[in-house]
Amino acid sequence: MHKRLFTPGPTEVRADILKELATPQIHHRSPEFADLYAQIQPKLQKLLYTQNPVFLYTSSSTGAMESAVTNLVAKRCLNLVNGAFSKRWHEITEGNGVPCDALSIDWDQAIKPEMVDEQLKTGKYDAVTLVLNETSTGLMNPVERIAEVVNSYPDVFLLVDAVSGMAGVKIDTDAWKLDFVLAGVQKAFALPAGLAVAAVSERALARAAQVLPRSYYFNLNHIYKYHKKNQTPSTPAIPHMFALNAQLSEMLSEGIENRFARHAKMAEIVQAWAQKNFDIYPEQGYWSKTLTCIKNTRGIDVPNLIDRLAEEYNVRISNGYGALKNETFRIAHMGDTQMDEIEGLLRAIDTILGL
Ligand SMILES: *Cc1c(COP(=O)(O)O)cnc(C)c1O
């Protein structure tokens, strides 16, 4: 029996979108492919409020994170770290031999614009990595205000991992002047894993042309060259692209503002429930709109709750991430999940826990 996913990635994929993966195969150097690629482009630009090209990577999000730091750091990168994925971005930067430093703060605290300003004042950095929505802790960093600070330093680029936020919350790419904003599609896009997308600014492409190449598969100049022909440098995950194209059309017919409002409403319901019965892990004011990380203040047996939800209700939620494994549990309210499904999940938990 299928277990319906309420996990913060991968998320549940609707059956009619899964069927798109079975579209007969086309050749990636054919006009049919270029047409598919060209159809996807304006829809992604609309979703991201941008005129920038949006590249498609046949990789998970980690590949796009690697692409950002290997192409766009000429001098030194500042990695802002307040959770597992921002920590990973620091490891990716370091692991590729890119000069960098981490600014690490407690995982239940948001990155504040002043902290970033203090670091950039040193003049050491020409790029900053930021995770919009820390999936490990259910915390949303104030990206717009951080962008304002970064933009006051003309040579510093802002690179944003928006993996579990994109397609669930508004990302005003051009207004906030984001140089690189990426996501994998298995989170709020509600698609199977295997593709990542990234909007890349003009000045980022100009810098990528100057920086000595550190990566072949993730080389931005190479990707851009093919992008202009509505192609990818190597054979992409074409079935996923059919699914992405169909899902983007669904999002636009729902209305992207409506989609964001639905996410905000689901977050409100889950967070009110969490506050009534438990507590919420990150500091107030920075709770995520796409998932909630619930603090296990009742000392419940988290693995047991997860097992019973799977066995008795055919639904799956997540435990805490890493060190927070049994201290928290996480409910995703992102993608195509509807209000009644979230209500049903909460009632199932109430029943199991006798709340
Ligand atoms: C899931 C996730 C990642 C890693 O994604 P992969 O697709 O597994 O590479 C990175 N950052 C954030 C914020 C995530 O939620």
Rounded Cα gap, residues 210 and 191, in angstroms = 35
Test site for ligand 1: of 135, 141, 240, 293, most ligand atoms within 8 A of the Cβ? 135
For the stretch 99-119, pLDDT in tens is 999 999 999 999 999 999 999
In angstroms, what is the span from residue 175 Cα to ligand 1's centroid?
A: 25
Query: Per CATH, is 4-10+256-353 categorized as 3.10.620.30?
Result: no
This prediction's pTM: 0.98
pLDDT computed for residue 47 by the predictor: 98
In angstroms, what is the span from residue 262 Cα to ligand 1's centroid?
A: 22
In angstroms, what is the span from residue 68 Cα to ligand 1's centroid?
A: 14
In angstroms, what is the span from residue 215 Cα to ligand 1's centroid?
A: 20
Check if 4-10+256-353 and 19-253 are the same fold. no
In angstroms, what is the span from residue 188 Cα to ligand 1's centroid?
A: 11
pLDDT computed for residue 213 by the predictor: 80
Write out the CATH class of domain 19-253. Answer: alpha beta
Joined together, the tokens standing for residue 179 give 């140089």
State the closest ligand 1 atom to the C-alpha of 136, by its place in the atom list counted from 1: 15
State the closest ligand 1 atom to the C-alpha of 186, by its place in the atom list counted from 1: 7
Test site for ligand 1: of 88, 163, 191, most ligand atoms within 8 A of the Cβ? 163
Rounded Cα gap, residues 219 and 37, in angstroms = 19
Q: Which of 257, 74, 232 is nearest to 159 (CA)?
A: 74
Rounded Cα gap, residues 298 and 284, in angstroms = 20
State the closest ligand 1 atom to the C-alpha of 131, by its place in the atom list counted from 1: 13
227 burial level (CB within 10 Å; 0-12, 13-18, 19+): buried
State the closest ligand 1 atom to the C-alpha of 134, by its place in the atom list counted from 1: 13
Test site for ligand 1: of 159, 164, 166, 334, most ligand atoms within 8 A of the Cβ? 164
Sign, CA dihedral 351-353-354-355, equals: negative
- Hey, where are the domains in the chain? 4-10+256-353, 19-253
Rounded Cα gap, residues 119 and 133, in angstroms = 21
Q: Which of 352, 355, 292, 328 is nearest to 7 (CA)?
A: 292
Q: What is the pLDDT tens value at each position of the chain, 355 positions in all? A: 999 999 999 999 999 999 999 999 999 999 999 999 999 999 999 999 999 999 999 999 999 999 999 999 999 999 999 999 999 999 999 999 999 999 999 999 999 999 999 999 999 999 999 999 999 999 999 999 999 999 999 999 999 999 999 999 999 999 999 999 999 999 999 999 999 999 999 999 999 999 988 899 999 999 999 999 999 999 999 999 999 999 999 999 999 999 999 999 999 999 999 999 999 999 999 999 999 999 999 999 999 999 999 999 999 999 999 989 989 999 999 999 999 999 999 999 999 999 9
Report yes or no: 199 and 53 within 8 Å, Cβ to Cβ: yes
In angstroms, what is the span from residue 249 Cα to ligand 1's centroid?
A: 24
